[in-house]
Amino acid sequence: MKKLIGTFAIMLALSATSPAFAATNPYTDLPTDHWAYGSVIALSDAGIVTPYADGTFRGNQKASRFDMAAVFAALAERANLPRDAALMQPYTDLDDAALYRSSVEIVTRCGIMQGYGNKTFRGDNFITRLDLATMIYKYEHAFGMMENVDMGAPLFTDVPPDHWAYTPVMFAARNNIMSGYADGTFRGSQTITRYEVALIIAKLPHLAL
C-alpha cells in the first residue's frame, strides 16, 4: 500500500482580497509564476497543506482518499468541528503506526468520510467528482448550509433526482462550489486531479484564510 500522503493547494482568485503569502516556497515543483502559487503558499502558512516528503506538490496527480482525508481533517481541525466517537470504524487496512491514521480518524468521526462494508478505508483509491461533492456536502452540514438551499430543478442530465448523489451535487452546484460541463453533464464518475480538487475546495463557504 502506498504510504505517501499529501495535501492540497487551494486555488484562490488573484484579486485584491487574496491572502498574503510568505516569501519562502517549500514546493520544488511549484514555480513562482504558477497559477496556483499564491494559494498554495497561503494555505501552507495556515497549516492546511504541506509538501510531500520530497518537497513536491504533485498537483497533476489524481486525488486519492488519503489525500482528501488529509485536506478535510485540516479543515475540520481549523473549524473545530464536533466529532462523534461512535462513527469511528475499526479499519482493517489502517495500522496504528500509519502517518495518515489521525486524518482518517478525524474525518470519520466528523462524518465527512466513511469506510466500506468490509471495514476497509482503501485510502489509495482515487476519488471521483461525485465522491468530492458528497464530502463537501457532509463537511458543510456542520455549518447548517444545506438547510437553507433551494435545490430547484435538476441542473445536469446525468444526475437525475433519483441519483444517489443528487442532493450533494445540487448543493455544490447551487452554492457555486462545483459546476458541470457545456453539454449539460456533471460527469460524476470521472476521477479528479489534485489541482482540480484545489480549485473546488477554495470555493467552500466556510474556508477563511
Q: Which residue has the higher pLDDT, 198 or 53?
A: 53
Is 62 within 8 Å of 191 (Cβ atoms)?
Answer: yes
Residue 146 has pLDDT above 80, yes or no: no
Separation of alpha carbons 50 and 103, rounded Å: 13
Residue 138 is predicted with a pLDDT of 95
pLDDT tens digits for range 80-98: 999 998 898 889 999 876 7
**Segment 14-43, tens digit of pLDDT:** 333 344 444 588 999 988 888 877 777 777
- Residue 185 identity (one-letter amino acid): T
- Can you tell me the distance from the alpha carbon of 88 to that of 12, in angstroms, rounded to the nearest whole number? 33
**Grid cell digits, residue 107:** 474525518
Residue 109: its pLDDT value, please?
A: 95
Give the pTM: 0.82
From the list 125, 164, 167, 163, the residue with the least C-alpha distance to 149 is: 167
Percent of the residues in the chain that have a pLDDT greater than 70, as a whole number: 84
Residue 33 CA to residue 55 CA, distance in Å, equals 18
